[in-house]
Amino acid sequence: MTKPIKVFGNSGSPYTQKILSLLRYRNIPYTVSWGDVIHNLSLLEIEPPKPVLLPTMVFDDGDGKNLCMTDTTPIIRYLEEIYINKSVIPNSPVISFLNFLLEDFADEWTTKYMFHYRWHFKEDAENAKKMLVLQHKLNIDNKSMSEFGNHIADRQINRLWVVGSNNETADLIDQSYKRYLMILEEHLKNSSFMFGMRPSSSDFALYGQLTQLVGFDPTPRNIAIKQSPRTVAWVNIMSDLSGLHDKGGIGEFFGINSDNENKPPKINYFNSNDNGWNELNDIPLSLKEMFNEIGRVYIPCLLANAEAHEDGNEVWETQIDSSIWKQKTFPYQVKCLNWIKDEFNKLSGSDKKLVKDYLKGTGCNKILS
């Protein structure tokens, strides 16, 4: 595939940021159009997909026809089929499954942090309703900016309950976010990425949400700066990994002599997928805490949502820690749960046992039985 991929998105969309960072890392050519997706597609006489989501990506199918895709999880797997170099799916089936589970958590739970902080707090909502409009049209007049901004804010604030954000769950979300930052802070002391020396799809999913939490919204950014400076720095680094290699470090630029004065080291850019990943036994213990958090907050929601969907209930509730979590039933998250189960069922019997042994005590095994 030689033609650049067309990406239609918004800079305030964590999923757009997720995929753009991944494309840069993999050195996959693309163009990006900011703003209203349907409008931008119509200018190119491209039929919009149903539903239109951020980002929408348009591929050349090889026969001169456009292939539109909108969900970053299958998009990333499609990219794996058509581009060989710099894979973001670990070569071990066990690590690949853990990566899939972590990517889903990032996409579906940590986005609750973002939505909560952005619209629950007045300062953040005031910031968002201006910036989201300006990211669509910079030269909009102030009166129209205020009108559109208020429309966006009213709509999103009224939807807070849909994702489970309310006065009762506010502390639960806040505490989960702070634990999440502390887990990342500890993990990044040991490893630059989640599963080794190179980024996986879950790294890009975590990064996408964090672009908003530490780069857009004031309240979660201030929390992150205090609790996890490594996470803030990691987000800046993750924005462009196009030249990532295994010989990074601090050297002469900082006045430190290099140990390789006579012969330059051979540089590995991770084009092959047979190196740069951790083995299961080499995963830092710090990452296990992330799966503890997944089992603590996300797994109960997945199970309660699936049960409500099966029973035909539009709203469900479950207990997380000492709080009652209540929100609208999402068919999409039933699909997410089924995807996780499908990935697990692809594993051999011995690999399933390795996964279950690793996740023992985290609460994650509840969705694998």
pLDDT digits (tens, 9 = 90+) for 249-302: 766 777 776 555 556 678 999 999 999 999 999 999 999 999 999 999 999 999
In a 10 Å sphere around its CB, with 0-12 CB exposed, 13-18 middle and 19+ buried, how is residue 369 labelled? exposed
* Whole-number pLDDT of residue 62: 76
**Is the dihedral angle over the CA atoms 105, 107, 108, 113 positive or is it negative?**
positive
pLDDT digits (tens, 9 = 90+) for 179-207: 999 999 999 999 999 999 999 999 999 99
Distance CA 109, CA 116 (A): 11
Helix (H, G, I), strand (E, B) or coil at 175: helix
Nearest to 268 by CA among 288, 248, 254, 253: 248
105 close to 341: Cβ distance less than 8 angstroms: no
In the chain, the amino acid numbered 122 is K
Q: What is the dihedral of CA 73, 319, 317, 368, to 10 degrees?
A: 40
In a 10 Å sphere around its CB, with 0-12 CB exposed, 13-18 middle and 19+ buried, how is residue 50 labelled? exposed
* Whole-number pLDDT of residue 247: 87
Evaluate if residue 82 carries a pLDDT over 80: yes
301 close to 176: Cβ distance less than 8 angstroms: no
pTM of the model: 0.95
Evaluate if residue 37 carries a pLDDT over 80: yes
User: H/E element holding 42?
Assistant: helix 37-43
Domains in the chain, CATH or no CATH each = 5-82 (3.40.30.10), 92-240+282-369 (1.20.1050.10)
